[in-house]
Amino acid sequence: MPPATATPLRLLVVLPSWLGDVVMATPALRLLRDRLRGSFIAGLVRPEMSAVLAGTDLLDELHADRKGGVMGPKHVAARLRPRRYDSALLLTNSFSSALAARVAGIPRRIGYDRDARGLLLTHPIRALERDGSTPLHRRWAPVPAVRYYLDAACELLRCAGFDPPAMPDDPAVLPEGIALELATTPEEERAADALLARAGLRCDAPFAVLNPGGNDPAKRWPAVRFARLAEHLAGAHDLAVLVNGSPSERDLAAEVCRDAGPRAVSLPELGVGIGSLKAIVRRARLMVTNDTGPRHLAAAFGTPLVSLFGPTDHRWTTIPTRPLPNGEPSEAILLADPTLPTSELANDHADRCRIDRIGFDAVREASERLLAHNVPRP
C-alpha cells in the first residue's frame, strides 16, 4: 500500500453506471484534474457510456469495460492490472466494482462504505443516512449526486495530503462555481447533422427535444400530454420537435409522434446514439424531460429545460445550471407534490407524488417562460 499521503501518480476513477450520473460526476473529475496536475487519471465506464465524456480533457484514458456476472470483476481486474494504478476512486456503490479494484491489485481504494464492501476499501467513506426508523431500502439521505461525488473526490485529496476545497456544511447544498461539463467531437457534430437531415430538417432549423421515457414507468409523464405539448411548440413557436428515447423506448417515442402530428420526429427511429444526442441537445432551444439522463446533457450544455419529477425525489439529482441571458435559471423544476415536507422523500409516496399530478398547463407555461428569454442555439 502507498504511504498514507502519497500523491496518486496513476489514478483510476470508476465512473457511475448511468448516463445522468456520469454527467453529474464531471465536477468531481474537474476537481481531480485541476488538483492532481501531472497525475495520470483514467476512467472505467460501462461500454455504452463511453461517448459521454468524449471531447473533454477530464481523463487521460478511458476503459470501457464493466462485465457483469460472477466472473465479471475478475475479467475487469485482468484488464486493469497491467496499467499499474496506485489509487482507485470508486464513484459507484457496488460490491463488484470494489472487488475488481482489489483483485486488480490497486493499493489505495477509496469509496463509500455501502453494499457490504467496506473490507475491500482501504479508505471507506461513510454515506449520510436518514433516521433509524427509515426502512432499509430508504436508509440513505437525499444528498445530491453531484455533491456525493465531489465529497468522495475531496476524501481522495485528503488521503493524498492535499487540502480539498471547502464544501458547504449542509450536504444537500452544492458549492458555488461548479458546473456540469461536457463537449462534443467533430464526429459527433457530423453525426447530428446527418440525423437532422434524415429528419428532414436544416442544420440551423430551430427545434425542441422532448424526453418522454425513463427507466421506471412511474417517472413518465403521460405520453398523450407530451404529444399535446409537441403540437403546441410546433404551432405557437414554429419549432420542430425531436422526441428522444432509448432503443427500448422506441415504441413510446413513436406513440408521441403519432399523436403529435407531422412536426414531431422520433429520434430512436433515426438511430440516435449518445454522441449524436449530445450534439442535438447542445443545439436545442428547449428540452422538456422526465427525471432521466438526457436532462443532465441539457444542463451541461446550458440548454433551457423543464424537468418533471414524480415519485423520485428531486434532491438526489440537484444540479448546477447556467443562467439564461436575463439572469434567470435555465431549468424549471416541476414537482408532482411541491407541498411534500422536506423530511419526507417523494420515493415513499407513490400516489401522492404520481407524475400525472403535474398538469399540462404548468408544463406549457414553464416552457413559454424559458423560450421567451432564450436565444437561438449555435
Kindly state whether residues 213 and 288 are assigned to the same domain: yes
CA dist list (Å): 313 to 60, 113, 255, 336, 342: 34, 22, 27, 10, 10
Q: Which set of grid coordinates corresponds to residue 170?
A: 449542509
Kindly state whether residues 203 and 326 are assigned to the same domain: yes
Kindly state whether residues 210 and 345 are assigned to the same domain: yes
Average pLDDT of the residues of the chain: 93
Kindly state whether residues 347 and 241 are assigned to the same domain: yes
Q: In whole angstroms, what is the distance from residue 121 CA to residue 101 CA?
A: 9
Contact 25, 32 (CB under 8 A): no
Answer with the one of 159, 178, 213 that is the final residue of a domain: 159
Residues in a beta bridge with 201? none
Q: Which set of grid coordinates corresponds to residue 275?
A: 454522441
Answer with the one of 159, 178, 195 that is the final residue of a domain: 159
Quick: pLDDT tens for 334-349. Answer: 999 999 999 899 999 9
Kindly state whether residues 111 and 235 are assigned to the same domain: no
Q: In whole angstroms, what is the distance from residue 272 CA to residue 260 CA?
A: 20
Quick: pLDDT tens for 19-51. Answer: 999 999 999 999 999 999 999 999 999 999 999
> Do the domain assignments include residue 207?
yes
Residue 145: per-residue pLDDT: 97
Residue 203: per-residue pLDDT: 82
Tell me what percent of the residues of the chain surpass a pLDDT of 90: 87
Kindly state whether residues 223 and 120 are assigned to the same domain: no
What's the average model confidence in pLDDT over 239-267?
A: 96
Query: CB under 8 Å to 152, separation ≥6 — which residues?
Result: 28, 89, 90, 91, 110, 111, 112, 125
Q: Would you give the distance in Å from CA 273 to the centre of its chain?
A: 16
Query: Quick check: 8 pLDDT over 70?
Result: yes
> Do the domain assignments include residue 282?
yes
pLDDT-derived band at 265 (thresholds 50, 70, 90) equals very high
Query: What DSSP letter does each residue of 140-152 carry, written as one string?
Result: B----HHHHHHHH
What's the average model confidence in pLDDT over 222-226?
A: 98
pLDDT-derived band at 6 (thresholds 50, 70, 90) equals confident
Contact 378, 283 (CB under 8 A): yes
Kindly report the CA angle at 251 between 250 and 254, in degrees rounded to 5?
90
164-168: list long-range contacts, CB under 8 Å, 24+ apart.
164/31, 164/35, 165/31
With both helix axes pointing from N to C terminus, report the angle between 274-283 and 186-198 in degrees, rounded to the nearest 10.
Answer: 80
Query: Quick check: 135 pLDDT over 70?
Result: no
Q: Which domain holds residue 262?
A: 186-372
Q: Which set of grid coordinates corresponds to residue 239?
A: 419549432
Query: CB under 8 Å to 69, separation ≥6 — which residues?
Result: none
Contact 122, 108 (CB under 8 A): yes
Residue 130: per-residue pLDDT: 81
CA dist list (Å): 280 to 146, 179, 231, 333: 24, 20, 20, 22
Kindly state whether residues 150 and 208 are assigned to the same domain: no
pLDDT-derived band at 161 (thresholds 50, 70, 90) equals very high
Residue 70: per-residue pLDDT: 66
Kindly state whether residues 16 and 91 are assigned to the same domain: yes
Handedness of CA 268, 369, 52, 212 (dihedral sign): negative
Residue 325: per-residue pLDDT: 86
pLDDT-derived band at 313 (thresholds 50, 70, 90) equals very high
- Cell 448516463 -> residue: 19
Residue 262: per-residue pLDDT: 92
Q: In whole angstroms, what is the distance from residue 320 CA to residue 94 CA?
A: 26
Q: In whole angstroms, what is the distance from residue 318 CA to residue 334 CA?
A: 13
Query: Quick check: 369 pLDDT over 90?
Result: yes
Residue 197: per-residue pLDDT: 96
pLDDT: which is higher, 253 or 67: 253
pLDDT-derived band at 72 (thresholds 50, 70, 90) equals confident
Buried b (16+ CB within 10 A) or exposed e, 100-120: bbbbbebebbbbbbbeebeeb
Backbone torsion region of residue 6, taken as left when φ is above 0, otherwise alpha when ψ lies between -120 and 50, otherwise beta:
beta
Instruction: State the total domains in the chain.
Output: 2
What's the average model confidence in pLDDT over 259-276?
A: 96
pLDDT: which is higher, 220 or 328: 220
Quick: pLDDT tens for 73-108. Answer: 899 999 999 999 999 999 999 999 999 999 999 999
Query: Quick check: 316 pLDDT over 90?
Result: yes
Q: CB neighbours (10 Å) of residue 269?
A: 15
Q: In whole angstroms, what is the distance from residue 40 CA to residue 31 CA?
A: 14
Kindly state whether residues 24 and 154 are assigned to the same domain: yes
Residue 1: per-residue pLDDT: 53
CA dist list (Å): 118 to 93, 95, 111: 11, 9, 9
